[in-house]
Amino acid sequence: MTVDERFSRDLRETLKDRPLGVRNEIVTGPVSDWAADFSHTEPEWAADPYPIQDELRQRCPIAHTERFGGGWLPTRYEDVAAVAYDTERFSSRAIIMSNFRPPREIAPIGGAPPISSDPPFHHHARKLLLPAFTKAAVARREAATRAFCHSLIDSFAGRDVVDAAHDYAQHIPMRVIADMLGFPPEDGPRFREFVENALEGVNSPPEERVARMEKLFDYLYAQIRDHVDNPRDDLTTYLINVELGGHKLSPEHVAGTMGLLLIAGVDTTWSAIGASLWHLAKTPADRARLVAEPGLLPTAMEEFLRAYAPVTMARLVKEDMRWNGVDMKADDWVLLSFPAANRDPAQFDRADEVVIDREVNRHAAFGLGIHRCVGSHLARMELRVALEVWLERIPDFGLADPAAVTWSTGQVRGPRTLPVRIG
Amino acid sequence: MKVRIDSERCQGHGRCYDLAPELFGEDDEGYGHVLGDGAVPPDGERTARLAVSNCPERAIEIL
Ligand code: HEM
Ligand code: HEM
Ligand code: SF4
């Protein structure tokens, strides 16, 4: 057996070599004016961001904040699309709006290719992943996903109230991505911790965040070494062996992409399944209609993705510039709210209503342009199967306690506690 | 009626081959392509329009 030298170095050394970035003072607490002091990490935003975004779209369509070292929030579809398409002036070298800006030298690759990459490198890093995530490729996982959803519902036997987010939605993407990467299925609870920390912990002290990132790295490197010793037919072995421009990938690229698939694949899909079940639990007419007309589900699902789009991204401004009437500075954040774009009345009729048979639905829940979600076909399969199985097995359900529902904070939004009455 | 995909704009969202599988397919990387010469039979015009109006990148044209 040959040793793969790339992964024999101590990973902490790899991390120590990384260039320094820039930190700013952490500002938390109630927002004074959403147009001049917005924050996506305050409880008011987590509870219900839509009225805030709707009001901003009318009053100040490109809002500003001094928090997070300075940033902007466009709420019109047109502006969100323009930023997503303009990879010349907006960089993806950081995509989580936090209090830390990674150094410019990490572009165009970034810490977690391809989501953190800019052209021209982005194209190559993305191309490596596409074949494993086509509609045809993910269809092969449908039967196993369906059986797993049934087993989750079997485990509800004898209970009148279950937590649809915690006991159902959460487990589905965790199991699917663990299978694809070839990680032990029982490690699910550990992924949840990594994911929550990465996306929800943006205002925690830097030492804590770095320590948590190192824990994730330790886990990924342990999995990589195990796959180097015991290659198998999964994405981890694929990433270890695949070549880009005649060379195998750097250890940071392999680990970064694995970390990305883990983080991007779990919280997002969990949120989409949870938000859809939340809507159906509180809207008996829509629930009854989908039970009666299961063929409408694919259309309804796109509407849930539009109205409750779980993912907001971020970009960093490359150079000082005047952009659509505001003065942006180099390294300002732009919070790229696909959820706000999806509720712009200039783009959608009855934008603030959930219309489950909406036929024209050019929503942007999976992004626009070159970073279109690589996992969108997988996520759609998981969401459809999760809802089909739930509606088949539990056609009659409702919110057990509307006040007990809680939502995640930060850039991925979905229910985290969702007690529903099923019996 | 004929349909065409602008491959410069297509990002592989797959709304076209989800909604109108008799007119569009996916390639090995998930990008959309028209099946055959893109000619739309008269009873397929509604689905063709549905695909056009759901493509997030506005990549599908009706000729
Ligand atoms: C409903 C569930 C999901 C939603 C709403 C969602 C949304 C998004 C969005 C909006 C982007 C664009 C990022 C940007 O513009 O910077 C993105 C990128 C990405 N997503 Fe997803 N995602 C979901 C599920 C998944 C799953 C299941 C996976 C894989 C296991 C995944 C993997 C990725 C990857 C690899 C990228 C980076 C693509 C690139 O930069 O080229 N996502 N996702
Ligand atoms: C050159 C490469 C990298 C640099 C310079 C870097 C730097 C950092 C820094 C300074 C933080 C703390 C951010 C803050 O205080 O807001 C952080 C957080 C984080 N990084 Fe990295 N990182 C790199 C690569 C990666 C890679 C490859 C991954 C994925 C496997 C990753 C995953 C994370 C996660 C998940 C967090 C959040 C940790 C938490 O709060 O729990 N990083 N990174
Ligand atoms: S819907 Fe549009 S972007 Fe998606 S595959 Fe079809 S043509 Fe391409």
Q: pLDDT tens digit string along A283-327? A: 999 999 999 999 999 999 999 999 999 999 999 999 999 999 999
What number is the average pLDDT over the span A251-262? Answer: 90
**Residue A11 pLDDT:** 60
Other C-beta atoms closer than 10 Å to the C-beta of A258 total: 25
> Is residue A276's pLDDT more than 90?
yes
Residue B47's CATH number: 3.30.70.20
CA distances from A73 to A44, A219, A326, A336, A341 (A): 16, 35, 11, 7, 11
How does residue A14 score in pLDDT terms, banded at 50, 70 and 90? low
* Residue whose CB lies within 8 A of the most ligand 1 atoms, among A171, A305, A373, for a mutation test: A373
Interface test with A, best of B27, B57, B58, B60 (most A CBs within 10 A): B57
How many Å lie between the centroid of ligand 1 and the Cα of residue A373? Answer: 3
What number is the average pLDDT over the span A85-97? Answer: 97
Q: Would you say B2 and B60 are in contact if contact means Cβ atoms under 8 Å apart? A: no
d(CA A79, CA B31): 25
- In chain B, what residues touch A77 (CB-CB under 8 Å)? none
What domains appear along chain A, each with residue ranges and CATH number?
Answer: 5-421 (1.10.630.10)
Task: Give all strands (DSSP E) within A35-192, no chain letters.
Answer: 62-65, 71-74, 90-91, 100-101, 161-163
**Residue A201 pLDDT:** 74
Backbone angles phi, psi at A237, to 5 degrees: -60, -40
Q: Looking at residue A329, what DSSP letter applies?
A: -
d(CA A53, CA A65): 14
**Residue A1 pLDDT:** 41
Total tally of structural domains belonging to chain B: 1
Whether residue A362 and residue B11 make contact (CB cut-off 8 A), yes or no, is no
How does residue B3 score in pLDDT terms, banded at 50, 70 and 90? very high
Mean pLDDT computed over every residue of chain A: 93
Task: Kindly report the nearest CA distance between residue A135 and chain B, in angstroms.
Answer: 7
| ipTM higher than threshold 0.85 | yes
d(CA A262, CA A211): 18
Q: Please report which ligand is nearest the Cα atom of A302.
A: 1
Nearest Cα residue to atom 41 of ligand 2: A197
Give me the domain span that covers residue B11. 3-62
Listed residue (A248, A264, A98) closest to A191, CA to CA = A264
Q: Please report which ligand is nearest the Cα atom of B12.
A: 3
> Is residue A17's pLDDT more than 80?
no
- At A370, is the secondary structure helix, strand, or coil? helix
Q: Which of A5-14, A255-264, A301-310, B32-41 has the least mean pLDDT?
A: A5-14
Among B17, B29, B50, select the one facing A131 at the smallest CB separation: B29
> Is residue A176's pLDDT more than 70?
yes
Nearest Cα residue to atom 20 of ligand 1: A373
How does residue B37 score in pLDDT terms, banded at 50, 70 and 90? very high
CA distances from A396 to A181, A197, A296, A399, A420 (A): 36, 35, 18, 11, 10
Query: What are the start-end ranges of the H helices in A48-116?
Result: 49-59, 77-85
* pLDDT > 90: percent of chain A: 83
Q: Which is more confidently placed, A190 or A45?
A: A45
